[in-house]
Chains A and B, each alone.
Chain A
């Protein structure tokens, strides 16, 4: 079955540490890729997306993600996290042949200690 895996359930970092959150998917073919963020008590917000072109995507708030097709991965990175980055992060994948079928990972909770 098609799926999206986020390997880390909960990540705890100190401020200024570097962040990498893993996301792997099992779809074949062309995909659109997304990272969404949910700050405490708030709605899901788009962080960044990849449709085509440069596999290194820059998003808001200093986040970036790299699409590695051979590894079916779309890992999220940030060189230096801040306390305000504490949130839950969701990877989402949608096959380009079925735009209805947006699948999300289970989410990774990031806690940044001041």
Chain B
């Protein structure tokens, strides 16, 4: 366990489904991040939340909708996804996005869109 827990570990969804990914951290961190990891490509930053406020949206399509109700929880709501959205979605946290520091990653959710 890293202190960052992601659920579910695996998700298969149809293109018309709506699902949500959940990330939870008990490290007392104030910044949380969503990354997309596709095969043979660099990790892609999607969203950054710092003290519950979204501070970065890296031109992510609107079919991905993040939610951060508090500093410990981060969600990624998915709807009308495309097959090319199949990937490993990683959540990470750090003490404070403004001051830097290293990230702690969760184990990821393996998403398959059919």
Contacts and interface: CB of A to CB of B under 8 A. Distances in A.
Interface string B87-99: 0001010000111
A104 B90 CA distance: 13
Nearest to A109: B40
A49 B98 CA distance: 17
Contacts of A70: none
Given A100-B56, A103-B42, A43 B2 contact: yes
Contacts, number: 53
A46 interface: yes
Given A32-B100, A99-B98, A100-B48, A43 B107 contact: yes
The residue in A46, A49, A100, A107 that gathers the most chain B C-beta atoms within 10 A of its C-beta is A100
25 contacts: A4-B42, A9-B40, A34-B102, A43-B4, A43-B105, A43-B106, A44-B90, A44-B92, A44-B103, A46-B104, A49-B102, A51-B100, A92-B43, A94-B100, A96-B100, A99-B99, A100-B48, A100-B50, A100-B55, A100-B56, A100-B97, A104-B42, A104-B43, A106-B40, A106-B41
Interface of A: 4, 9, 32, 34, 36, 42-46, 49, 51, 90, 92, 94, 96, 99-107
